[in-house]
Amino acid sequence: MHYHIAIAVIIWAAVFVEARKIRGISLSYKRFYKERKSFVCIDGSKLIPFEQVNDDYCDCADGSDEPGTAACPNGRFYCTNLGFRPGYIPSSRVNDGICDCCDGSEEYNSPTLCQNTCRNLGQRERAELEERMRMLSEGADVWREKQAELANLWGVASSMLVLLEQSRERKAEADRALMAAQGFRGQSRTQTRLEGLGQSPQDTERLGHKGEGDQARMDSAPHRGDSPNEAEGDQG
Ligand SMILES: [Ca+2]
Ligand SMILES: [Ca+2]
């Protein structure tokens, strides 16, 4: 007997709590809707008895006294949408016969029976998100792979540059050695020819200087016809 009374009390309490529930508000806005007190419009413009909240008559300019009805043109209704994403809809869509919230909570006084599709929508959205995350993860793996390849290529390119520089240095050394060898061979050929003529390079140098002296003397010696007297004598 006592058991049945307790069950009845619990059911009555649940029905009472549901009846007193303020429709169309989110948890963060519940602090504005404390029962048994006067209600202050959220914009602070007016103080009204709490009975005028959701009484289907618009009292507040911001529509905050009618979160669960379509009375205020600028009001908005909060869809809890358990299992999916919560959100707001314009209060004009409350009890308009069209299901807008996936939990159908805005059609609480409507001939339209709305199915709760939040769970399916949530599952679909989670599957899509998982697929997107999988693709992003694969893309990230490919990106890391390409980065590793790129780093490897940079290493190879750096090694090749070092080898190229070393080869340039060796070629420059070889060129210098070749030029030195060619110069030495030229000197050797000259020396060989002079030795064949019985002269040493020093002799050649002296002869060169001697030839220059003889030429100078020949240039400075007087020539016939240079003196005017001689010219006149020749004429006499
Ligand atoms: Ca009202
Ligand atoms: Ca609706």
Calpha distance 52→56 (Å, rounded): 8
Same domain, residue pair 112 and 168: no
Q: Is residue 192 part of a domain?
A: no
pLDDT at 191: 78
Nearest ligand for residue 95 CA: 2
Q: Is residue 22 part of a domain?
A: yes
Q: Is residue 231 part of a domain?
A: no
Same domain, residue pair 89 and 36: yes
Nearest ligand for residue 91 CA: 2
Same domain, residue pair 30 and 96: yes
Same domain, residue pair 136 and 89: no
Q: Is residue 208 part of a domain?
A: no
How far does the centroid of ligand 2 lie from the alpha carbon of residue 115, in Å?
12
How far does the centroid of ligand 1 lie from the alpha carbon of residue 96, in Å?
19
Same domain, residue pair 106 and 140: no
Nearest ligand for residue 106 CA: 2
Nearest ligand for residue 103 CA: 2
Nearest ligand for residue 114 CA: 2
List per-residue pLDDT tens for the chain, 236 residues long. 555 554 444 444 443 444 447 999 999 999 999 887 899 999 999 999 999 999 999 999 999 999 999 999 999 999 999 999 999 999 999 999 999 999 999 999 999 999 999 999 999 999 999 999 999 999 999 999 999 999 999 999 999 999 999 999 999 999 999 999 998 888 878 777 777 777 655 555 555 555 555 554 555 555 444 444 444 444 43
pLDDT at 193: 79
Q: Is residue 62 part of a domain?
A: yes
Same domain, residue pair 104 and 167: no
How far does the centroid of ligand 2 lie from the alpha carbon of residue 92, in Å?
8
Tokens of 35: 């029962």
Q: Is residue 9 part of a domain?
A: no
Q: Is residue 167 part of a domain?
A: yes
- Quickly count: other Cβ atoms within 10 Å of residue 55's Cβ: 15
How far does the centroid of ligand 1 lie from the alpha carbon of residue 84, in Å?
30
pLDDT at 212: 52
Same domain, residue pair 98 and 148: no
Burial state string for 138-175 with b = 16 or more CB within 10 A and e = fewer than 16: eeeeeeeeeeeeeeeeeeeeeeeeeeeeeeeeeeeeee
Alpha carbon 55 to chain centroid distance? Answer: 54
For 63, the domain range is 16-116
Q: Is residue 77 part of a domain?
A: yes
How far does the centroid of ligand 1 lie from the alpha carbon of residue 227, in Å?
146
